[in-house]
Copies of this chain bind each other. A is one copy, B any other.
């Protein structure tokens, strides 16, 4: 009986981060950083074309990063948002990020049904999304069954939501993934492009 599981960022990620000099002062700058991270995940072949990061926007500080690691980890929960939120919680040693300032989740794509559900539990106070659900679905990804009023329901909980930030650039990473022959990892049978 297995008793433990772990998720680890790919080895290329800290190296990649050291080479960057993003100033992370605006939502667009943070999104551009996250989109590049998604592109790098595809280039390295470590997972799907999705990335996310948690920031302390007030002081432009990067707290944690995540990329899609479903195939690399063998775990279906290893979506970029889940990885970034969990690593931010590790950083603070606390499952409730709301106790550590006004933290922001930036994700290269609108969250799927699971990641949408995970956002309020994490304690982030805002979320900035790149590509939209229909962009991910057009690329062959199943986004799951999310309530139509998902964004307003988060706002009602006091979580700010910005949608479609650098949408076109974020969607280009899906095309890049397809061009590379990436696996569309929907359960019950992979479609390969």
Contact = CB atoms under 8 A, between A and B. Distances in A.
Interface of A: 1-9, 13-14, 17, 62, 64-65, 70-71, 73-78, 82, 85-87, 89-91, 93-98, 112-118, 120-123, 142, 144-147, 149-150, 153, 158, 185, 187-189
A103 to B, nearest CB: 11
A121 B113 CA distance: 10
A107 to B, nearest CB: 14
Contact of A73 (B75, B95, B187): B95
| This chain: copies in complex | 2
Main secondary structure of the interface of A (DSSP, over half): mixed
18 contacts: A1-B62, A1-B64, A1-B65, A3-B87, A4-B9, A4-B87, A5-B86, A76-B122, A77-B118, A95-B185, A96-B187, A96-B188, A113-B120, A114-B118, A116-B117, A122-B187, A123-B187, A146-B147
A52 B189 CA distance: 25
Contact of A117 (B1, B86, B113): B113
Given A5-B86, A6-B7, A121-B187, 9 more contacts: A4-B7, A74-B95, A76-B96, A76-B121, A95-B185, A96-B187, A114-B117, A114-B118, A117-B146
B5 A90 contact: yes
A98 B187 CA distance: 7
B2 A90 contact: yes
A93 B74 CA distance: 6
A89 B117 contact: no
A89 B142 CA distance: 19
